[in-house]
Amino acid sequence: VTHNDTDTTVSEYLADVAHRVSDLPLLQRRELLADLESHIEAERIERNAESPGQLLEILERLGSPEEIAAAARAEAPAGASPPPVPAAPRRRPGVVVAVVVTAVVLLLFLIVAVLSFFVSGGESSEPAFPAPLPGQSALPTPDDPPAPLESAPR
C-alpha cells in the first residue's frame, strides 16, 4: 500500500462531493472542496494517519459525499439554487420563452414601422396620419431624421 493509493482515495472522495454539488455557485463549491481537502490533510498529519484504514476513518467521520452535499445545499444562499432537479429545467424554458417573445415583439414592431413608412411615403396624397409635410415620413424616427429638402441634400 503506497501513499498514492491513499491519495487516490482522497481525490475520489473529493470528486464525488464535487459531482454532487455541481449545481451550487462556483465560489461556494470551491470553498467547500478547499475546506474538505485541508481538513483531510490536517487530520492525516496531526493524527499521524498513514494506513488506508486510518484514512477511511477520517473520511467516515467527515461523512458521506451525499451527506455533505445535502448540507451544502441546505446552506446555499436562498434562491440561488434550491432543489437542484426541479429548478434547472424550470428556469431554462422561462429564459427561452422570454427571448422568443422579445424577438417576436421586436420583429412585429419592425414590420409595422416599415409598413407605415411605406404607406405614408408611398401614398402622400392620402396620409394615414395628420398632415406630414411633403417629403417627410409620417413616422419620423431618431435614426432616420426627416430631412428638410433645402438643408440636407443627398
Q: Contacting another protein (CB under 8 A), which of 5, 12, 35, 144? A: 35
Q: How far is the CB of 77 from another protein (least distance, A)?
A: 7
> If you ran DSSP here, which 8-state letter would residue 130 be given?
S
R_g of the chain computed on alpha carbons:
33
Residue 39 engages another protein in binding (rule: CB under 8 A): yes
Site string for another protein, 67-106 (x = CB under 8 A): xx-xxx-xx-x-----------------------------
Q: Alpha-carbon distance 138 to 128, whole Å?
A: 8
Going by C-beta distance under 8 Å and a sequence separation of 6 or more, which residues neighbour residue 111? none
List beta partners, residue 144: 141
Place of cell 417573445: 101
Residue 6 engages another protein in binding (rule: CB under 8 A): no
Q: Alpha-carbon distance 19 to 151, whole Å?
A: 68
- What cell was used for 80? 440561488
Tell me the three state secondary structure of residue 81: coil
Please give the size of the binding site for another protein, defined by CB under 8 A: 26
Q: Contacting another protein (CB under 8 A), which of 5, 7, 12, 31? A: 31
Task: Give the interface segment with another protein, choosing from 58-66, 81-89, 128-136, 138-146 (CB under 8 A).
Answer: 58-66
Instruction: State the residues that interact with another protein by CB under 8 A.
Output: 28, 31-32, 35-39, 41-46, 61-64, 67-68, 70-72, 74-75, 77
